[in-house]
Structures are given as structure tokens and as C-alpha cells.
């Protein structure tokens, strides 16, 4: 499998960390993770895409992973969408956008709000304008449930296993280091700016809850954005997802009539992490078709 090289991309006033896979002159694909995740959430997807002739970038969204924290604490949907448009402007070719959850709705808005082409194809991963309130609340509870962090990586693994009971608890905890950072007091905290969930200095600015979950409830705006999508589109849903129901997926297909749906068995909201093999198969097959058109 192709190996990645860490690069820096330019967002809208922030520096964004990314890993690039594949030949520099290959058609580009930007992989945009969900809120609270990092660029390492995609498993082998970027490497597989590179092996199939794509230049794949896994990107840490603003305030996440190794990317810069915005000085003004702006984690609005508009800010994430602006970062996508800024990254696209630096590429020599219009990319494919592969967006999970927050990365997906940010891609929808980036496409809708730009007068210029932002994507040649779109892959939405377990996200659509109509999301299930109970699933949104469960994400909120998970992201806000440990404001003081964890004493050990074992505690981190316990929290992840409680959120994803259908996924085996990892025996090797080293991989968790990509999703957490260790404070000077020795405690482990999630690898994002605390202001993203309203637990830091920016909370008083009106950004007092996770911007991902608040944005997911702006159904009217997301529906309007979806109606504007004309590029080839694939929706990948986790079959046991509590966030995107079958009804929500069908509504997305009505908003984007040319879109297609893939249901991944055994996967929840974190589709790429739950069933990376089936996820890769669906995405690669779709993008190979797109490239041939």
C-alpha cells in the first residue's frame, strides 16, 4: 500500500495538517473527517485510493489533530466550508470530496455557497440533512462527557468502547494516541480545541455546544445545499447507524436524485472505522466509475 507524507494545506486563515498519498499529479481527493476525529480516522482508505491512481489527502479539520486552532474560536459550519474552498483553490484540479459527518455537511455547504466548482464528485459518509435527534444527542454526550480528560489510555479505550459497543475494544492502545494528546498534568484529552465543544475560552461567544451537532439540526439549510449538488454523489450509510436512518437516507436521494446509496453491513456512524474493507470497496468502485466518465 502507498505510504503517506505529512503536508500543510491552507485553510481560510488557518494552517491545516494533512497526509498526502499517491502521485502528486494524480487526480485529487480530499478526505474530511467528522467532528472530534482526526485525519487518522480513515484507516487504509487514502492508501487504497492512491493505489487506484488518486492523490488522496486526509486532512485534520481546523482545531483538530495537528491543524491550527483559529484565534477567534470560529468552529461554525461556514468556517469549515470556507476551509474546504480555500484548500480547493490551491489544487491544480477540482478534487473529489469525501466527507464524514461534519466533513460531509461542510462539503455540502462548500459546494452550495461557491460560484466556482469545488468538487468533481462527492461522497457523503453517514450524513444527510435529516439526522436522528437521539443519535445527535449521543454524539453530544460522548464529546462533552469527559471535560477533565482521562487518567490513562485504558480509560480512553473504555469510553470509545462504550460509544461503539459493536466494535471490539482495541487490545493495542497505541493507536489511540492519534486521537488524544497528553496535557502537562499527565491527563489525556481529546485531540481538539476545547472551544469546539464550548469547554474553553470561546464558550461565552455563543459557541456553547458542539458545532457539528448544532449544524446537523439546521435541516433547512442543509436541504437547500443538497438540492444544489449536481456532481456525481455517493451516500455511504452504516446499516446500524443511530444517526442516519433509512428514511434520512431516502430523503437525501430525493434531494439529489442522481445520487446512489451504499448500505454497509455491520457499520455504525463511524463507517470507515467499523468496516474499512467494505467502505473502501464502495468508495473505490464509485470513484473509478467517476474517473472513467
pLDDT one-digit tens code per residue, 211-221: 555 555 689 99
107 within 8 A of 94, measured Cβ to Cβ: no
Is residue 132 pLDDT above 90, yes or no? yes
Confidence of residue 201 (pLDDT cuts 50, 70, 90): very low
256-293, pLDDT tens digit by residue?
Answer: 999 999 999 999 999 999 999 999 999 999 999 988 66
Q: Grid coordinates standing for 268?
A: 455504525
Residue of 22, 45, 25, 23 lying closest to 33 (CA atoms) = 45
* Chain centre to alpha carbon of residue 179: 14
Ordered by where they begin, the domains of the chain are 4-131+218-292 (3.40.50.1820)
Between 225 and 208, whose confidence is greater?
A: 225
At residue 287, the pLDDT reads: 96
264 within 8 A of 239, measured Cβ to Cβ: yes
72-93, pLDDT tens digit by residue?
Answer: 999 999 999 999 999 999 999 9
At residue 208, the pLDDT reads: 42
Residue of 266, 281, 263, 233 lying closest to 123 (CA atoms) = 233
273 within 8 A of 288, measured Cβ to Cβ: no
pTM of the predicted model, to two decimals? Answer: 0.93
At residue 218, the pLDDT reads: 85
d(CA 259, CA 19) in angstroms, rounded, equals 28
Specify which residues 192 forms β-bridges with.
64
Arithmetic mean of pLDDT over the chain: 91
Q: Where are the alpha helices (DSSP H) in the chain?
A: 45-51, 77-90, 102-113, 133-144, 153-163, 211-216, 219-227, 246-255, 271-274, 276-292
Amino acid at each position: 500500500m502507498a505510504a503517506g507524507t505529512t503536508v500543510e494545506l491552507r485553510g481560510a486563515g488557518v494552517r491545516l495538517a494533512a497526509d498526502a498519498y499517491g502521485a502528486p499529479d494524480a487526480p485529487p481527493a480530499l478526505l474530511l473527517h467528522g467532528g472530534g476525529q482526526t485525519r487518522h480516522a480513515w484507516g487504509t482508505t487514502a492508501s487504497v485510493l492512491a493505489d487506484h491512481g488518486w492523490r488522496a489527502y486526509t486532512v485534520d479539520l481546523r482545531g483538530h489533530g495537528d491543524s491550527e486552532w483559529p484565534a477567534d474560536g470560529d468552529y461554525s459550519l461556514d468556517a469549515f466550508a470556507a476551509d474546504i474552498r480555500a484548500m480547493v483553490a490551491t489544487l491544480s484540479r477540482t478534487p473529489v470530496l469525501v466527507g464524514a459527518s461534519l466533513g460531509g455537511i461542510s462539503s455540502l455547504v462548500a459546494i452550495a455557497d461557491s460560484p466556482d466548482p469545488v468538487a468533481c464528485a462527492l461522497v457523503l459518509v453517514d450524513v444527510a440533512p435529516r439526522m436522528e435527534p437521539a443519535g445527535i444527542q449521543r454524539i453530544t454526550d460522548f464529546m462533552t462527557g469527559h471535560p477533565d480528560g482521562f487518567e490513562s489510555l485504558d480509560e480512553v479505550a473504555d469510553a470509545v468502547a462504550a460509544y461503539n459497543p459493536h466494535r471490539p475494544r482495541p487490545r493495542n492502545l497505541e493507536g489511540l494516541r492519534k486521537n488524544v494528546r497528553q496535557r502537562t498534568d499527565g491527563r489525556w484529552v481529546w485531540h481538539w480545541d476545547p472551544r469546539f465543544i464550548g469547554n474553553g475560552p470561546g464558550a461565552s461567544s455563543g459557541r456553547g455546544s458542539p458545532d457539528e451537532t448544532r449544524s446537523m439540526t439546521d435541516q433547512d439549510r442543509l436541504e437547500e445545499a443538497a438540492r444544489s449538488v449536481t456532481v456525481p454523489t455517493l451516500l455511504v450509510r452504516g446499516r446500524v447507524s443511530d444517526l442516519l436512518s433509512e428514511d434520512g437516507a431516502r430523503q437525501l436521494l430525493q434531494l439529489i436524485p442522481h445520487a446512489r446509496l451504499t448500505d454497509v453491513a455491520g457499520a455504525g456512524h463511524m463507517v470507515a472505522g467499523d468496516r474499512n474493507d467494505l467502505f473502501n470497496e464502495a468508495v473505490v468502485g464509485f470513484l473509478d466509475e467517476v474517473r472513467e466518465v
